[in-house]
Amino acid sequence: MNLKKVFWNNIVKLSWVIIIIILVFLAKTVNEIGVDYIENQKDRINGVMTGAEPVLAENGDIGVLMIHGFSSSPKDFKELAEFLTKKNITVSIPLLPGHGTHPKDLKEIVYEDWKDHISLSLSKLDTKKKFILGFSMGGALALDSASKNNLDGIISINSAIFIQNKYLPFIPFITFVETYTSKKPEDIVYFSNEKRVVYDSVPLTSILELKKLIDSLSINKITEPILILQSDNDEVISPESAFYIYNTIQSKDKKLIILNNSTHSRLNNQEKAFEKIYQFIASH
């Protein structure tokens, strides 16, 4: 056996391993630097992005706790909050942990932090009647809260149960080369035009925490009246989620409305949807 040849073959193999490790490290570093650069261009007050602040509008004995979606902020509910406060309804919209600041903060959050924050926010809602409304991931948190508390009603909007992401099973492997995943350029442009305050990139590990949140739900324990709204062209959450919620909960008073020509974040005929929400609250 040529020991010298074996030695150099092992050196070559080791060199390739080192090169791959360096390339992976560089890819991850570039990914993080790019996200930092983009996020640092945004205006902030005391670390919170302008417009992402939590909202509390006290306006009566009927209260609604609204929970925004993954990577988003309370500003998503601006129009709905204004609509309901004009109807003498108190509105509380907390900013979920890790949101509205910098994606690196979201990276440090586990799904229990979101649950705990909603529990605290609900306890601070000092009204005789308490409703909870959630959108997307916020919908999952609303369902979780309803399974543990006695509420007067639940409004679920495109709640996250079945996520439409074919890369979800591979995220644990992708995290070796990327810390963050960026949203599609057309989505970023849309969010900017709509003046939404959202992250352009999200930590991959946080998507796994969202999945853990969904897996932890006990929807079959819910007995409160519920209004389920689901967009027919939801490209993020499978519309099957709404049917699963409807068929799994124990509520006798339940209604499912499919929002035609609507996407995950854009509801067609928004005024009509708002009126449906108000009528549900007023009737309970």
Instruction: Look over the chain and give the mean of its residue pLDDT values, rounded to a whole number.
Output: 89
- Percentage above 90 pLDDT, the chain: 65
The residue type of 154 is: I
Q: How many CA atoms lie within 13 A of 132 on its CB side?
A: 27
Confidence grade of residue 6 (pLDDT, cut at 50, 70, 90)? low
β pairing state of 62-67 and 90-93 = parallel
Mind listing the domains of the chain with CATH numbers?
44-283 (3.40.50.1820)
Segment 27-52, tens digit of pLDDT: 677 778 888 888 888 889 889 999 99
Contact residues for 1 (Cβ-Cβ < 8 A; gap 6+): none
The answer to whether residue 9 scores a pLDDT higher than 90 is no
Q: Which two tokens stand for residue 170?
A: 């591979």
Helix (H, G, I), strand (E, B) or coil at 124: helix
- Percentage above 70 pLDDT, the chain: 87
Chain center to CA of 131? 19
Sequence length of the chain is: 284
Task: Give the residue-averaged pLDDT of 49-61.
Answer: 92
Alpha helices in the chain (DSSP H): 3-39, 78-85, 103-106, 111-124, 137-146, 171-174, 185-193, 204-215, 240-248, 270-283
Segment 169-181, tens digit of pLDDT: 888 888 888 899 8
Segment 64-101, tens digit of pLDDT: 999 999 999 999 999 999 999 999 999 999 999 999 99
End-to-end Cα spacing for the chain: 85
The residue type of 54 is: P
Q: Which two tokens stand for residue 255?
A: 């209604």
The answer to whether residue 270 scores a pLDDT higher than 60 is yes
Cβ contact 84:278 at 8 Å: yes
- Is pTM beyond 0.85? Reply is yes
Instruction: Give how far Cα 254 sits from Cα of 246, 251, 283, Å.
Output: 7, 6, 13
